[in-house]
Chains A and B, each alone.
Chain A
Amino acid sequence: MTDSAISSKKDLSERALGALLLLPAALLLLGIVVYPIATLFWSSLHGVDNANVAAGEQWIGLGNYLRAFEDDRFWASSWHTVLYIIVTVPASLVVGLGLALLANLPFRWQWPVRLGLLLPWALPLVFAGLIFRWFFEYQTGVVNDVIVRLGFEPLQWLSSPNLAIAAICITIIWKSSSFMALMLLAGLQTIPKSLYEAAEVDGASRWQQFTEITLPMLRPAIFVALIFRTITAIQTFDIPYAMTGGGPGDATETLAMYIHKTTLDFLDFGYGSALAALMFVLSMAATSGYLKYTRRSAGRGEE
């Protein structure tokens, strides 16, 4: 009886201490994330009435959202964002898996290989965008140089809409495949060697070992990496900003770039907030899928 009383008192003080230790994190989250996001939804319901500009920002209900629905530029920039997601997420997975498999071979010197994966990851996205803009220059870029040397016509990479999107996709894939490879490499290194040895004894081919052992064992790592990539791809901003600035015209503009322009260049906070709120909801849907998955796998671990 006394024992349990003591331990419950101890529990209580531990809880109080725990709450105290979590307090700074909670305060920062409230101030920097929760409060701004709340005001985001609030200001998305306001706007300036063109007939009555002097009145300033007024309550216009869902007006901004209805406006987005009819705004071609909103749909176009959303479509570009979706395009970047569906092209670059699977492609960076394939390239990243390739890099991870190569990097997992038994090298005598591990560090150059590891650094070859780390450098693209550590480079700021804008730098990658600038560097590849230089690669894709029409007259002096290295990409067209190689194309011409191979005997083909040089391409207008950054001034033709479709090619500009392709160039941006290639850059995003280069930048993000290294991160994919690092995550998958860690997954590869947890697969016990004995599985491969057993498969070898049973006469399984290399390809069978890959499809029957490597891929299934790698599934959790692949899933986590894919979700991480998708969530960052929704926010694509830096690379197109550095490579094309959204151009030619608005042909490569993403939703994030449009939101940035609406709020900071056009100073239309109400409409910008509505667009940002839409993106927030979209992104949270993807996150909840991720959380559902991790909670399920955490539950499995505890069993």
Chain B
Amino acid sequence: MNFFALKRRTVIWFAAISVAVNGFFPVVWIFLTSLKTETELIRSPITWLPEAATLANYETAFTAQPILRFMWNSLVVATASTALCVLVSALAAYALTRLRMPHRNLIMSVLLAVAMFPLISLMVPLFKVMRELGLLNTYFALILPYAVLSMPVCTLVMASFFQDIPPDLEAAAMVDGCSRVGALFRVVVPLSAPGVFTAAILAFVNAWDEFLLALTMMNRVNMRTLSVGITLYQGEFAFPWPLISAALIIAIVPICILIAAFQERVVGGLTAGGVKG
């Protein structure tokens, strides 16, 4: 009996360690790199732990490129596109779940199909459209497409939450003089706050991580978002890895805080879009 208990504990420890190492090792490794000096870096064999840890790379990371400006751009674009996406998706999800609409499944399918559009196909004509409208190098060039790209998953997530709210509550609100749209914002949305919140996190992470459109629509350095800005630390032939690592760590911290704080929501949201849909 004791032997089996021991074996079971071993298996569980092995499982925990392998999942954690797989997930954390790359980030831990660049954190260690970010503390090293260039001279330590080229030693052979390489050192694993930094011998004389230094924060100098972080200082350089802030001065070599306008990384705070990149972060600000990412924040503006991600926040605005998330707000737009959640608002539009909430209206759509309400129409699709709470109203007797014809062709509901067809509309859902069209939405899902959009989620799977290859971004590169969209990038080519969208670049032309934005150029003609003079919107290149403006936040709008990213806010609008990002809002659309996250719309399908946000609609799905919110629809799955809206469905679970008893219609009686809404009816009661309307008897009390609420309009239908009033009931949506005063009853349905507050009651499905976790769903709305989940949708918002997913949209935010999608926008924060996007690279191809950000690379295409913003070619002025001070309009670059973080995901593109990080690639500017490399020289044409030289890769200053400690500096790049420091910049990466600075860029990863906000996203780490976000997912650590809301991990259950994120997991729930990811799977609501896939497994339920």
Q: Do A and B come from one complex?
A: yes
Task: Give the docked Cα–Cα distance between A142 and B155 (Å).
Answer: 43
Interface of B is mostly: helix
Interface positions of A from 228 to 271, Cβ below 8 Å from B? 228, 231, 234-235, 237-238, 241-242, 255-256, 259-260, 263-264, 269
Interface positions of B from 16 to 45, Cβ below 8 Å from A? 16, 18-24, 26-27, 29-30, 33, 41-42, 44-45
Tell whether, in the assembled complex, residue B118 and residue A280 are in contact, meaning their CB atoms are under 8 Å apart: yes
Of the 9-residue stretches A58-66, A123-131, A191-199, which lies at the interface with chain B?
A: A123-131
Closest partner residue, chain A, to B155 (CB atom) = A25
Query: B50 at interface (Cβ–Cβ under 8 A)?
Result: no
Select one of B45, B109, B118 contacting A291, CB under 8 A: B109
Task: Give the docked Cα–Cα distance between A9 and B91 (Å).
Answer: 22
Task: Give the docked Cα–Cα distance between A190 and B21 (Å).
Answer: 26
Select one of B42, B151, B180, B227 contacting A17, CB under 8 A: B180
Kindly list chain A residues whose C-beta atoms are within 8 Å of the C-beta of B244.
130, 134
Kindly list chain B residues whose C-beta atoms are within 8 Å of the C-beta of A241.
211
Interface centre among B27, B211, B241 (most CB of A within 10 A): B211
Closest partner residue, chain A, to B12 (CB atom) = A105
Task: Give the docked Cα–Cα distance between A256 and B122 (Å).
Answer: 11
Query: A21 at interface (Cβ–Cβ under 8 A)?
Result: yes
Task: Give the docked Cα–Cα distance between A255 and B122 (Å).
Answer: 14
Query: With contacts A174-B22, A283-B117 known, is A135 near B29, CB below 8 A?
Result: yes
Select one of B24, B101, B128 contacting A119, CB under 8 A: B24
Interface centre among A37, A123, A273, A294 (most CB of B within 10 A): A123
Query: With contacts A106-B12, A140-B42 known, is A21 near B112, CB below 8 A?
Result: no
Query: B175 at interface (Cβ–Cβ under 8 A)?
Result: no
Tell whether, in the assembled complex, residue B11 and residue A127 are in contact, meaning their CB atoms are under 8 Å apart: no
Query: B193 at interface (Cβ–Cβ under 8 A)?
Result: no
A34 → chain B closest CB, angstroms:
9
Query: B270 at interface (Cβ–Cβ under 8 A)?
Result: yes
Query: A187 at interface (Cβ–Cβ under 8 A)?
Result: yes
Q: Could you tell me how many residues of chain A have their Cβ less than 8 Å away from some Cβ of chain B?
A: 102
Query: B102 at interface (Cβ–Cβ under 8 A)?
Result: yes
Kindly list chain A residues whose C-beta atoms are within 8 Å of the C-beta of B112.
287, 290-291, 294
Query: With contacts A115-B260, A116-B20, A221-B274 known, is A142 near B46, CB below 8 A?
Result: yes
- Chain B: interface residue count, which band? 35 or more
Query: A99 at interface (Cβ–Cβ under 8 A)?
Result: yes
Kindly list chain A residues whose C-beta atoms are within 8 Å of the C-beta of B109.
291, 294-295
Query: B216 at interface (Cβ–Cβ under 8 A)?
Result: yes
Query: B92 at interface (Cβ–Cβ under 8 A)?
Result: yes
Tell whether, in the assembled complex, residue B125 and residue A18 are in contact, meaning their CB atoms are under 8 Å apart: no
Tell whether, in the assembled complex, residue A186 and residue B267 are in contact, meaning their CB atoms are under 8 Å apart: yes
Of the 9-residue stretches B51-59, B61-69, B141-149, B164-172, which lies at the interface with chain A?
A: B141-149
How many inter-chain contacts with C-beta < 8 Å in the A-B complex? 291
Query: With contacts A124-B208, A256-B118 known, is A116 near B92, CB below 8 A?
Result: no
Task: Give the docked Cα–Cα distance between A303 and B251 (Å).
Answer: 49
Tell whether, in the assembled complex, residue B120 and residue A259 are in contact, meaning their CB atoms are under 8 Å apart: yes
Query: A88 at interface (Cβ–Cβ under 8 A)?
Result: no
Tell whether, in the assembled complex, residue B102 and residue A124 are in contact, meaning their CB atoms are under 8 Å apart: no
Query: A272 at interface (Cβ–Cβ under 8 A)?
Result: yes
A6 → chain B closest CB, angstroms:
14
B79 → chain A closest CB, angstroms:
17
Tell whether, in the assembled complex, residue A269 and residue B124 are in contact, meaning their CB atoms are under 8 Å apart: yes
Interface positions of B from 234 to 277, Cβ below 8 Å from A? 239, 241, 244-245, 248, 251-252, 255-256, 258-260, 263-264, 266-267, 270-271, 274-275, 277
In addition to A33-B117, A107-B12, A276-B118, 17 A-B residue pairs with Cβ atoms within 8 Å of each other are A11-B100, A21-B95, A22-B91, A25-B88, A32-B144, A32-B148, A37-B122, A116-B21, A125-B211, A183-B275, A186-B274, A220-B275, A221-B274, A221-B275, A237-B211, A269-B124, A294-B277
* Interface residues in chain A, defined as those with a beta carbon under 8 Å from any beta carbon in chain B: 11, 14-15, 17-19, 21-22, 24-25, 28-29, 31-33, 35-37, 39-40, 43, 99, 102-103, 105-107, 111-128, 130-135, 137, 139-140, 142, 145, 148-149, 174, 178-179, 182-183, 185-187, 190, 220-221, 224-225, 228, 231, 234-235, 237-238, 241-242, 255-256, 259-260, 263-264, 269, 272-273, 276-277, 279-280, 283-284, 286-288, 290-291, 294-295, 298
3 closest A-B pairs by beta carbon, nearest first, are: A116-B23, A186-B271, A36-B125
